[in-house]
A = this chain, B = another copy of it.
Amino acid sequence: MASKRATISDVASLAGVSIATASKALNGRQDVRAATRERVLAAAAELSFQPNALARGLISGQTRTVGLLTSDSVGRFGIPVLLGAEDAFGAGEMAVLLCDARGDAIREQHHLRALLSRRVDGLIVVGESTNPRPSVSKDLPIPVVYAYGPSEDPDDVSFVPDDVGAATMAVNHLLALGRRRIAHVTGPGHYKAARDREEGLRQALAAAGLEQAGQTLSGVWSQRWGRHAAEILLMAEPEIDAVFCGSDQIAAGFVEAARERGRRVPDDIAVVGYDNWEVLSTETRPALTTVDMNLELLGRTAAQHLFAAIDGRATPGVHKMPCQLVIRDSTSPPGIS
């Protein structure tokens, strides 16, 4: 460990100038002769001087630090958002203070106080699902941006994936391939994501003047449920030629069970997943056509808007971020696979 950290006054006395002059030289301000600046810089380098961010923040009132409050980091949605945000901040000079509330409101309050006490310049709240969550922004002296899971308060700034639009896009892709008997297997109905994706399907079918093949099958977000749903569906609606699944896990299970029952994918049944969780979507056979929610981009965008809000240019409301359809073999036109 180095002895003691050098302060600006150490630098100043080594360079033979006052503290004020040293500060000006180090911060590239005018009113310093070139030769003097040179001496100060040399002294700072010799002492490997690092300005004390606490003292600086105390004066300026800006810590150049933002809080990242997540309800459930362990979920695979929070992580990319977090990375995108960290990316956007890290490019500049911002630092990220990470807090994980583990879905506990008490713990969230606790972390919120800690962040406030550390005088963060802003806050990003990352949800674990797209279900709206209680606002934390009330009476907060700093701007807050919600990512993935929006705030219940429409005056807050939220960024969410456009699940409805993405589902419509996915189903339109199936329609363009000539599929007409499209079924839907998805997760629990208490997830807004499940309801939104079903709504997107509904809109696409309505626009094409078609009926959905059978009822929507709601289960859980697992491969096991995908397999089970395949059995139910192939029994009840044997003539389906496409399935839109609410997640890649469900799609992977569906593909596996369908193949075991002698249905070829994509020839007999085209399958579309959701999430583009690469360990599943690229490793299943055939590789899955799926919706990528661009979560890193969403996180980055949220971070950029937080910057704007810190500068006083907030843009309230729920912003729907476009998703992207990644086309792979599970929806290849017949004869190509």
Contact = CB atoms under 8 A, between A and B. Distances in A.
A90 B86 contact: no
Interface stretch (A54-62, A128-136, A166-174, A199-207): A54-62
Interface string A255-292: 00000000000000000000001011001000000000
A141 B83 contact: no
A305 interface: no
Nearest to A95: B97
Given A99-B90, A280-B279, A50 B1 contact: no
Contacts of A24: none
A2 B118 contact: no
Interface stretch (A109-117, A149-157, A209-217, A316-324): A109-117
Nearest to A116: B50
Contacts of A95: 97, 99, 114-115, 118
A97 B100 contact: no
Contacts of A107: 90
20 contacts: A2-B139, A2-B140, A2-B141, A53-B117, A53-B118, A54-B58, A54-B118, A65-B118, A73-B79, A74-B79, A74-B80, A90-B107, A95-B114, A96-B97, A97-B97, A223-B279, A224-B283, A249-B279, A249-B283, A253-B283
